[in-house]
Structure formats: C-alpha cells, structure tokens
Chain A
Amino acid sequence: MAAVAVSVAGLLTLTACGGGDKGGSGGGQAAQKKVEVFSWWTGPGEADGLKAMRGIFEKQNPNFTFFDAAVAGGSGDQARALLSSKLQANQPPDTFQGHAGAELQGYIKAGKLESLNFLYDELKLKEVFPQQLIDQISVQGQVYSVPVNIHRSNVLWFNPGVLKTAGIAAAPATVDEFIADLAKVKKAGKIPLSIGSQWTVVHLFENVLLGSLGTDAYNALWAPNADWSNANVTKALENFKTVLSYAGTPQEDWQPAAKQVADGEAAFNIMGDWAYGYFHNPPDGGLGKQSKTDFDWAASPGTDGTFMWLSDSFTLPKGAPNRNGAVAWLKVAASKEGQDAFNPLKGSIPARKDADKSLYKDYLAWSLEQWSADKLAGSIQHGVVAPDAWKTALSDAIGLFQQDQDVAKLQQALVAAAKAGGQ
C-alpha cells in the first residue's frame, strides 16, 4: 500500500511542479498568489476540517489562492517521505503539516524551519496556548510550529457490557487494578485487551509507561542524560509485559482492534481519541455505536489528571516561495475561528484555551475539559517527545520484545536508544 501511495505522491509532485511552471510562465503574479499547503489530511473528517479552514483563509485573504498539496496515507508516513526529499532539494512547500514536538527537530537542526516567535508575539499566542504546551514544543526558546489541534493518546476504551459480565464495576484507575481486571475478563472468556499492528503496541507501551511512572518521572525521561536504567522503569516494563500477556491476537491495524471492543469480543483497548470517531460515526465511516452504552472511555490506567497529547501543527519552511501567504495561513491556523472550524470536523480539540465550548460534544467536551485542567505529557508514538531516530529505535525494541518478552533486554535497548537519541 505504501508503494502505491509513494507513487501517487510522486505523481502529485509532478503535477505540483507542472502547476508551478504554468504559474511562472503566466506571469509572476499568479505564482505569488498561490499558497501551497502540504498535509496528509485526505480522509473523511480531516479533509472536511481542512476545507473549513481553507474557506476562512480564502475569505480573509482574497489575494491568495489556496493550493491543497495533501498526500494520502494514515499517519503521514508517505507524506513525510516526500516532504523530506522536497526539503533536501530546497524546494519546500509554503507551509507543511507536522506533528508538533520532537518530530520536527530533525528539520530544525537542519535549519529548514523559520522560528515563529515573531508570530507568537504578534498574535499573543503564548497567552492562549497552555504554558506547558509552549514549553514542550520549544527548542532553545524558539517555537517552530503552530498547533492546530490536540489529540489525546491516553484513553482507555471499553465495552460496558463485557465489563459487567466479567464483574468489573468501573474502569480501572491504576495499572495494578487494570491488570486485575484483565485477569477477570480472561476468566469470563473474552479477550481482555485488543491490540493491532506493531505501532499500536508502541502506543500501549507509552500509556503503560506513563501510568506506571507518573507524569513527572515520565516527562523526565526525555531530558538529556535521563536515567532509563532505574528500577521504576524496570517495574513499568514488567507491567507492560504483564499487560501484553493479556492481549488478544494482533489485528491488522487499530480499527479492527477497536472493533473487537465495539462488537463485545474484547473488553479493553488503549488507543488515541481518534477511535471515538470510529466508534461513533455513522456506518459509512464508523461503527455507528452509542457512546456510554455500546462503548465507554476513561483516562488510561494510572494517568487520570494527565493529558498525553499529540498535535498536528503547521510550520514556516525557510525559503518558502510565498512567505506572506504562508504566514497568512498560519494566522488562520492559529486563530480561534480557524481552530473552531477545523476541530469539530476532525474530531479533535483546539490547542487554544479560549475555544467555544458549545461546539464540542460528548467525548470532545470531556477532552476539552481535561485539556484545560490536566498536567501534560507528550506522546512517543506520535512524535512529541522523541525525535524520529529515537522513536524508531524504541519501536524496534518493542517489536523485538513482542517476540522474546525479555524485559532486561528491552530495558537495555531503551537505555541505548536514549543515549543515542538524547544528545
């Protein structure tokens, strides 16, 4: 599938180049007007959100035309592959989507991104985004991206019916309770915990790690020279091993895993809050389930009061062909209006604290409330705390661990990955 998307991506660049040439020959003005916005929002919901933001942008900036350079493909794998080759060739789009946080560090180190402090000052963004968020996305006092939305990683999805049959009264609050509940479900003859392909196990890992260590210890792991070899981490890894031992057969991806919970085959699933849309949306994109009765959620075990976040954000590449247009886009992306148009459709919450609460219902209302009150921790799998190379090393270690279940070896690999990645 990746190869198809890559070749499609190739085609897209070709057409994009073709468009640029035409603009050039048709007079410099046409090229000046075009703002190329590079993203991987092509699926239902996200593409609608992008369209809504585009509407606002075009209304506010009649001089610019929006050029949608979206590359299809789930978590942006294909888009990022194409993007890095464009940036290396010094042919950046005017602005591109990236997960806020460490994922952008490679680009920042390579000097491909312009600092956005000027924009943050001009729009007083430091007052409307949570301080912890600003801290976690700053590199040496500079901010390089504008977060448009916030997703939550630490959500425990469960099937209330299955929990009832297994004799579990409420969602587990701690990792130990969680493990006890998993055993109960197993006894009741259902799959205790559903998992998907390897990345969903990394997602599970970050949740168990956060739940076992607590927020401060978890956040400390990402500082330079952090100690990954201590006994608390060992304990967390032991927990991870125990939790994983209750997992069902790995499904193809996160959707089939989530579906096992919705269908009452499995009791629990730990997945980001994009699962809500899948559970809740009508059958042509989701499962059409009733929230609170068919499925329910809670903070993943041991993480209540902490919001493990990830965020899509937009950047300003150095040498953007239409810098003014890109800045105009970033202003829309940062605005209350833009974020309130985008997020209800995408199924995420705005990064701004002053969003219109009435637009966010059900799960999103809960999430928004937590966002303004909780401590923050960054996601591993979704590019917040670990740069790509480190993340890949972690993901390899966890993939190997799935095969041999060797906690000591996993910890060694994590220590080595931190040493190599944390410089």
Chain B
Amino acid sequence: MTRVRRWLPGLLLVSPSIVLIAVFVYGLLGWNFKVAMTDQHDEISPGHFVGLDNFISIWDQERWGISVRHSIIFTVVFVVGALALGWFLAFLMEKGIKGEGGFRTVYLFPMAVSFIATGVVWRWLMNSGTGEQAVGLNRLFHYLGLDFLQWHWFRDQDWGMAAMAIPAIWQMSGYVMALFLAGFRGVSEDLREAARVDGCSEWQVYRYVVLPLLRPVTLSALIILGHISLKVFDLIVAVSGKQIITDVPAIFMWTAVFDSHDPAKGATIASYIVLSVAVFVVPYLIWNARRGNRS
C-alpha cells in the first residue's frame, strides 16, 4: 500500500500527457505509416497493404529527387551558417563587449518572429529582379556600386536553396548565440587560467580547452537546427509558395495530399521526413540517456 502511495500520485499527474502523446503523437504517427504502406492513391478507395512499395517508387519521381537535394543544400547551409554565426556572436559577447545586454537582446529578437513573417519580409529583400528591375537587396547592391553581387537569390537554379537558408540563419543565429554564450560561461575561469599558466596562447585556450567543453552545446544546437531544417515548410511557403524551384519534401507532401489528393504518397513523404529527423534525434537521445546513466 505504501508502495502504491509512492508511485500512484506521480503517475496520475503525468498520465494525461502520456495519454495525449500516445494518441496524438504516436497514434497518429503509426496511422501515417499505415497509410503510407497502402495503395490509397485517392480519397475514396479503401487502400490495400502494399508494404514498402510507395517508399521505393517515390525515388523514381524526379520531383522527389529535387526536393531531397534542395533539403540537403538547405540543411547544410542553414546549420553550418547558423552555428558559425551564432558561435562568432557568442565569442564576441564573451570578450566582454560594452552594452552586452543590449546586443544580446537585439540578436535574440529575430527568434520572436515567426518564419512566416520572416519569409514575407525576405521575399521582398531577395527579389530576383536585377539591373533596372532590382528591388530589395539587389537594389541595395546597386546603390553601393556592387552590381556584380546581384543575383537571382532563391530563383537560382543550382544554389537557390542556399539563398533560402539566409533568412533562416538570420532568424536562428541569435538563439545559437544564446546557447553558446551559456556554454562559454559554463567553462570555469580556473581551467582557462590553468591552461594559460601552462603556456597556452589565447587561441590555444579556445582551441584545446573551451571548444572541447562546448561539444555538448554544439550537439544540442545541431539537433535543434537540424530538425527545424528537415521539416521546413512555413518559410518556403512564405517566400516562394509551391514552386518546383524551391521544392522541399514538406511542400511536396502538401501538394500530394491537397492538390493531387493522394493520401498514400503524402503519408510516404511524411514518413521520410519523420525518419530523417529521427536520424538526427534518436542517436542524440541515446547518447543523452547514456550520459545521464553514467553521471
């Protein structure tokens, strides 16, 4: 009885969220996978189990290849860009800049904006007109006499998705900065002092003492940015809408479900998005759990 008394209240406290998550996250996730493994290619037919056929046949579609490629470019540019910029900003802050609080707030502000709002503004900034039709950033380049910098931004066929990552970097680098700044502050002064006493230059202190200690922070930032990036939808819809030139899996999923009326295809794409995010998140969770056990 006393035993029950020990665990029951706790269980009762968390059970509503367990139930809700079981139904609305894992239940619907399971249902999605189930639909993805049927041949329900319109909204009426009941659909029969076809195993992994949809998962294989989607690779025959040119649009899928393009959207995967776009997603990879976007992810690499966005994650590397946001990490680098965020780290750099944190580094500057850590040097004890005057008015640090003010800067910190300014860099964090973009976080408060939704991707939709960011997208609407950057759509104008990244207008693809050049020469006489230039507006936004291209116009700015023109005023500065830097016309050679004008390009088609997200409409560039090969590197458009890299341009698409710029607003995302703008938005998230402040957040990464906050993470790194906390990390920097967590490195005790004693350690740095010790390294300096051992004859390290300031650069070597960062290279061999601070950076290795930031690894957990970097990893967290990587996971957070990575999963945002793999399922990005709102930013791209706001900047360019449904166009092949900026297609990503989430947009493809939207057209498959609501335009082509093909639930199985939409569910297949959704499954791939979940799996790709899982590739990021699951190892992190395992690593975290192990670390938790060790300590």
Contacts and interface: CB of A to CB of B under 8 A. Distances in A.
B is bound to A: yes
B243 A249 contact: no
Given A250-B128, A389-B262, A402 B245 contact: yes
A410 B187 CA distance: 59
B129 interface: yes
B233 A399 contact: no
A105 to B, nearest CB: 10
A106 B247 CA distance: 25
Nearest to A253: B241
Interface in A68-103: 77, 80-81, 84, 88
B237 A396 contact: no
Nearest to B61: A396
B261 A198 contact: no
Contacts of A230: none
B54 to A, nearest CB: 15
A231 interface: no
Contact of A84 (B155, B157, B255, B261): B261
A400 B237 contact: no
A268 to B, nearest CB: 16
B189 interface: no
B281 interface: no
B198 interface: no
Interface stretch (A1-9, A53-61, A146-154, A353-361): A1-9
Main secondary structure of the interface of A (DSSP, over half): helix
Contacts of B237: 1-3
B155 A250 contact: yes
B100 interface: no
A249 B234 CA distance: 24
Interface string A381-392: 000000011011
Contacts of B119: 1
B63 interface: yes
B191 to A, nearest CB: 46
A48 interface: no
A372 interface: no
A147 to B, nearest CB: 23
A81 B254 CA distance: 10
A70 B42 CA distance: 26
Given A1-B116, A106-B42, A197-B243, A400 B260 contact: no
Interface string A233-263: 0000000000000001111100000001000
A403 B157 contact: yes
Nearest to A7: B116
Contacts of A1: 116, 119-120, 237-238, 241
A4 B120 CA distance: 12
A198 B244 contact: yes
Contact of A110 (B44, B62, B116, B245): B44
B218 interface: no
B255 A392 contact: yes
Contacts of B157: 403
B227 interface: no
B261 A388 contact: yes
Q: How large is the interface on B (under 10, 10 to 19, 20 to 34, 35 or more residues)?
A: 35 or more
Contacts of A400: 62-63, 66, 244
Main secondary structure of the interface of B (DSSP, over half): helix
Interface residues of A, number: 33
A84 B44 contact: no
Interface string A178-199: 0000000000000000000110
A47 interface: no
Nearest to B155: A250
Nearest to A266: B133
Given A249-B128, A250-B128, A389-B42, A197 B241 contact: yes
Contacts of B261: 84, 106, 388-389
Given A1-B116, A1-B238, A84 B258 contact: yes
A252 B259 contact: no
B116 to A, nearest CB: 6
A395 B242 CA distance: 10
A12 interface: no
A399 B251 CA distance: 14
A249 B244 contact: no
B182 to A, nearest CB: 31
Contacts of B234: 3
A392 B255 CA distance: 8
Contacts of B260: 388-389, 392-393
B32 interface: no
Interface of B: 42-44, 62-63, 66, 116, 119-120, 123, 127-130, 132-133, 152, 155, 157, 233-234, 237-238, 240-245, 247, 254-255, 258-262
Given A399-B247, A400-B244, 4 more contacts: A2-B254, A106-B42, A110-B44, A249-B152
19 contacts: A1-B241, A3-B116, A3-B238, A77-B258, A84-B43, A88-B43, A109-B42, A110-B43, A197-B240, A198-B242, A198-B243, A249-B155, A265-B132, A391-B259, A392-B260, A395-B259, A396-B63, A399-B63, A400-B66
